[in-house]
Structure 1
Amino acid sequence: MYALVLDGELKSALTAVRSLGRAGRKVSVGSTRGSAMAGFSRFSSDHFVYPDPKIDQDKFVAHIIKAAKRFPEPPVLFTFSDATYLTVFAYRKELMEHCLIVLPEMNAVTKAFDKAETYTLARMLGIPTVTEYEYDPASVVSFPVVVKPKTSVSWATGEGKYGTAEIVFDAASYLAAAEAVEAQTGQSPIVQEFIMGSEYGVECLAFEGEVSKVFVHKRIRSQSPRGGAATVKTTVLNDPHMVAMVSHSKKLIAELAWTGPIMVEWKFDTKEGVAKLMEINGRFWGSLPLPERVGVQFVLGYDVLARGFAAPKSRPIRPLTTQHFLGDVRWLWRVMTANDPLRAELYPHRLLALGSFLKTTLSVPGDVWSVTDPLPFFMEYIDVIKKYL
C-alpha cells in the first residue's frame, strides 16, 4: 500500500511519514524544497519537489498527479498546510482519478476555513466566541484588539499569501494592520477583543460528522509569547473545561458533516471563566506528533478511511508533554530580546524562561528528534538555513 505525503518541511508531515512507514506503507514525500526534512526519514522511499501551490496551482497539481502515477496503485494523499489542502480541494476531481482522498463538502470547507463563517456558525449553535467588532476605520474600539484575516491563506491578488493576526494597541497600528489584511486578501479584516488565557486544541478524525477519534492538548508555549505555532504542548486528561470544549467541538463537526482530520482551537477567557472558540483547522495540525506518540493514530485512521475501512482503535491515552526544539529556541529568543508592550502580561522573567527551556529540553521527548530516525532532525536546520539564504 502506498502514500503520498505533501508539505515535507513540516513536523506534522514527518510524523505521518514515520507512522505510515512503521505500518508498512511505501511513502513518497513532496515539498517545495528538496531539503525538506520528512524526505530524509528512513521511512521515506523517495522525495520530490513540486511548484509552490501559492504561486501556480495548476503546475502543483500536475506534479502531484505525476508523482501518484509512479505507484502501481493509487496512493492515499496527505496534506498538512492550508495552501496544499485548499488547492487539493479545489482540484479534487482531477486528483481523485489518481489518489485516494476523503474530503468534506464545499459548504463545510468554506465554513471551516473562513473565520467569519466559523464564528457565525458557532453563534448559531450557542457556542462561546471571542467578542468581535465590526471593522470601520472611523470607529472607536477598546484597545488592545486582534486584527486578522478571514482566511489564513488567500489567492485574492493572484498569488497565494498567508495572513497573520496582529495585536494592536492604538488607532494608527489598528489602521495599518487592517489595511495590510485588505491588501493581502481583498477583504475587510476580523477585529476581536484580546483575551488572556490558556489555549487548547480538540483534535478529531470524523466521517460525515461522526467523530471516531478525539484527543485534547493544552499549549504550554508557542513560537512567540503572543502566539503562533505550539512548541511545547501536553496531553489533557482531567481539565475541568475539557468536557465543554469536546462537546462544542463535536457539535461543530456534526453541523459541518465533516469528513477527515480537523482540530478546533479554544482559548480559556480567564476574565469570564469560559473557553471560547478561536478557529478551526480543517486538516492535519502542527501538534500532530503528540497524539501519535501516545497512541492516538490519526494518520493511520485517515489512511484506512481513505481506503474505505473503519479507523483502528486507539490505545488508552497517557500523560505526555513534547517539545519542538527549534520552535522553542525561537520562543526563548523572543523572550530574551523582545521589546513588547505586553511583556508584563505575556512574557515570563528571562531567567525563569531560560530555566524552563533547559528543563523541558532535557526532560521531554522532541517532535522531530528520533534515535532510530535521526537525519530529519539535522535536515530541519539545513532546510531553515537554505530557506532564508
Structure 2
Amino acid sequence: MAVVMVTDAARGSAVAIIRSLLAAGHTVLAGDVSRLAPGLHCRGLHHGFRYPDPTRHGSEYRRTVLAVAAEFGADLLIPVTDATTEALGPDRKLPHSSCRVLAPEPEVLDRVHDKNTLLTLAADLGVPVPRTLRVTSRSDPATERFGQRAGWPVVVKPERSTVAGPHGKLVKLEVSYATDPDQLAGRVAEVLPHCPALLQEYFPGEGHGVEVLAHRGRILAAFQHHRLREVPFTGGASSFRRAVEPDPRLLEHTATLIAATKWTGLAMVEFKVAPDQVRLMEINGRVWGSLPLAVAAGMDFPARLVDLAINGPQSHPAELALNGPRSHPVDTDYRRGTTSRNLGLEITWGLTALRDGRRSDGLRVLASLADPGPGYDIVRLSDPVPGLYELVTIARHLTGKAIRVLRR
C-alpha cells in the first residue's frame, strides 16, 4: 500500500479519488486552499492540510506540498487541476523528494493543452474537428468573415485554458460565445492579451466524454458518459450525467489520439455527437470533473491509476476489443445507466433556468434535488461530513452572489 497525496480537496473529483484510495487500503493525505474543502473531512483520511493559492503563490504552494510529502513519507502525488499541476514547475516534479507526481510528461501534456496543436494533430489523424480559425491580432479581417461563413454563434476559445499572468500568477481563461460581429470582436479582444484565440463553428451535438487510463499510448480501461445537463446551457461543466455504452466511433478516435500522444495516465476526450457525425472538442489532460460518476459505476480509475504506478499494467478479464491498427483489449466493465450530479452546478442550472424564463424546467430540477436516487458526487450517507461541508460552501457562494447583486 502507498501513501498518496491528493490536491484540490474542494472538488468532487478529488473527493472521489480520496474515497477510492481509502477503500483500496492506501494512506491518503489531502490538501486544499480552503479549510471548508469537503475532501479534508472524508472518513478515514490520514491527514488534511491547507496550502497557499497555487495561482498566486506558486513557490509557497510547492514548499508546502514538499514539506507534507517529507513529513508523512508520501510515495505519490495526484494533482487534480491545471493550477496545482502547473504550479509544481516546468518539470512537474518535487525537488529532493522520492514522491512521484502522477501526471503526464510535461511535453505530452503541452500538446493537448495547446488547443490549436491538438486540433491540428487530430485533423491529420483523421479525427473530425470543428472548423477553426486561429487569431493573433484584433485587426485580423478574417475574424468577421469567419462568423459570416461558419454561422452564428461562434465559439471563442483561448488557445490555452491556463496561462502565466503578471508576477508569475496563473490566469484561467474561459470559453465564450459570440452572436454577432461586434460581440465577436469583443470576445477576441478579451483573449488576445493572454494568448491567441481560436474561433470555432458551433456544433449543436450532445456532449459525450470518453475517459481512459492509458500506458504509453495504449488504453487499458475506458468509460463513456453522456452529459444530460451542463452549466452554462450552451456547453460547459456537466451538472448531471449518465454512464453509457461505449460508442465504437468515439473509442476508436480516442485510441488514435492516445496512441499518437503516447499518453500515460488518466485523460478525458470530449466529443459533441450528432445523429450522423461527431466532432472532437478537447482532451482534458487532468482529472475531469465527472470522475465521481465513473467510480460510482464501478470503473475505479483512481485505484487503477495508483496500481499502474506501483505495479505496471495489468490485464483484466472483462474487455472490449478495439478495431483498426491499434487493436488490443480494453477493459470497459462498468454499470451502464448509473447517474451522478454535481449539487452546486445543479442548483446553478435550476436557478439560471428560472432567471431565463424556463420556469417549469428550473422548478423540476430544483425539486429533483430532494431525490437521492440519481446520486451525487459528494453527498453520501456512509460518509456524510464532506456533504455537509459542500452544503456550507454552496450556501456561502449563493449568499455572496446575492449580496453582490443587491449592491449593484
Shared fold per TM-score greater than 0.5: yes
Instruction: Find the counterpart in structure 1 of residue 79 from structure 2.
Output: 79
Give the deviation of 1:361 after TM superposition: 5.0
C-alpha contact (below 8 Å) 2:76/2:102 kept by paired residues = no
Q: Which residue of 2 aligns with 1:22?
A: 23
Residue of structure 2 aligned with 1:243, choices 243, 248, 253 = 248
2:296 corresponds to 1:279: no
Change (3 A) 1:307 1:100: farther
Query: Secondary structure in 2 aligned to 1:88?
Result: coil
Q: Which structure 2 residues correspond to residues 296-335 of structure 1 after superposition, within 5 A?
A: 296-311=299-314, 313=316, 316-319=333-336, 320-335=338-353
Assess, with a 3 A threshold, how the Cα gap between structure 1 residues 85 and 51 changes in structure 2: closer, same or farther: same
State the partner residue of 2:14: 13
Greater CA drift, 45-54 or 251-260: 45-54
Partner SS state of residue 70, structure 1:
helix
- For each residue in 1:90-132, what CA deviation from the matched residue of structure 2 results, as whole angstroms up to 9, or x when unmatched? 2434358231234433331111111111101101101100111
- Range that drifts further, 228-237 or 132-141: 132-141
For 1:149, which of 158, 169, 179 is the aligned residue? 158
SS of residue paired to 1:307? helix
Secondary structure of 1:318 counterpart: coil
SS of equivalent to 2:68? helix
Give the corresponding residue for 1:169: 179
**Are the counterparts in 2 of residues 203 and 264 from structure 1 also a CA contact under 8 Å?**
yes
Could you tell me whether the CA contact under 8 Å between 2:79 and 2:102 is conserved in 1? no
> Separation in 1 of the partners of 2:273 and 2:366?
24
Q: Which moved further from structure 2: 132-141 or 120-129?
A: 132-141
| Alignment-mate amino acid for residue 330 of structure 1 | T
How big is the shift at 1:79?
1.6
Aligned to 2:379: 369
Letter in 1 for 2:159: K
Q: Name the SS for the 2:208 alignment partner.
A: strand
- 2:121 counterpart of 1:121: yes
The amino acid of 1:328's aligned partner reads E
Unaligned runs of 5+ in 2: 317-330, 401-408
State the shift of 1:384 in Å: 4.3
Question: Contact conserved, 1:104 with 1:259, CA < 8 A, in 2?
Answer: yes
Could you report, residue by residue, the CA deviation over 1:42-99 in whole angstroms, capped at 9, with x for unpaired residues? 132221111111112221111111010122x333211211111223362434358231
Determine if contact 1:102/1:305 at 8 Å carries over to the other structure: no
Amino acid at match of 2:367: L
Contact 1:205/1:262, CA 8 A, preserved across alignment? yes
1:297: how far off? Answer: 1.3
User: Following the alignment from structure 1 to structure 2, what is the Cα–Cα distance between the partners of residues 160 and 148?
Assistant: 17
Query: Retained in 1: the 8 A contact 2:122–2:257?
Result: yes
Q: Is residue 9–residue 30 contact of structure 2 (8 Å, CA) maintained in 1?
A: yes
1:288 aligned partner = 291
Question: Post-superposition shift, 1:286?
Answer: 0.5
Which aligned pairs between 1:47-58 and structure 2 lie closer than 5 A? 47-58=48-59
2: distance between equivalents of 1:315 and 1:199?
20
2:267 paired residue among 240, 262, 268: 262
Residue of structure 2 in register with 1:358 after alignment = 367
1:96-135 matched pairs, under 5 angstroms: 97-135=97-135
Change (3 A) 1:126 1:47: same
Q: Pick closer, same or farther for the CA change 1:372–1:47 going to 2, 3 Å.
A: same
Deviations 1:284-326 (A, max 9, x none): 1100011101111110111112224335847832121111122
TM-score (norm. length: structure 2): 0.86
2-side partners of 1:381 and 1:166: how far apart?
A: 29
Q: Is the 8 A contact 2:90 2:106 kept in 1?
A: no
Q: Which amino acid aligns with 2:248?
A: V
Q: 1:266 to 1:360 in 2, by over 3 A?
A: farther
Structure 2 Cα separation of the partners of residues 167 and 17 of structure 1: 36
Decide whether aligned partners of structure 1 residues 91 and 61 sit closer, same or farther in structure 2, where only a CA change above 3 A counts: farther
CA RMSD of the aligned region, Å? Answer: 2.1
User: Once the 2 structures are TM-superposed, how far is the Cα of residue 382 of structure 1 from its aligned partner?
Assistant: 2.3
Contact 2:12–2:377 (Cα < 8 Å) also in 1: yes
Q: Secondary structure at the match of 2:87?
A: helix
Question: Where does residue 231 of structure 1 map in the other structure?
Answer: 239
Q: Distance in 1 between matches of 2:177 and 2:242?
A: 26
Give, in whole Å, the separation in 2 of the partners of 1:386 and 1:367: 19
Partner of 2:210: 202
Distance 2:87 2:315 in 1: 28
Distance 1:198 1:352, change over 3 A: same
When residues 236 and 95 of structure 1 are mapped into structure 2, their CA distance, relative to the original with a 3 A threshold, is farther
Unpaired stretches in structure 1, ≥5 consecutive residues: 340-348
Which residue identity lines up with residue 346 of structure 2 in the other structure? D
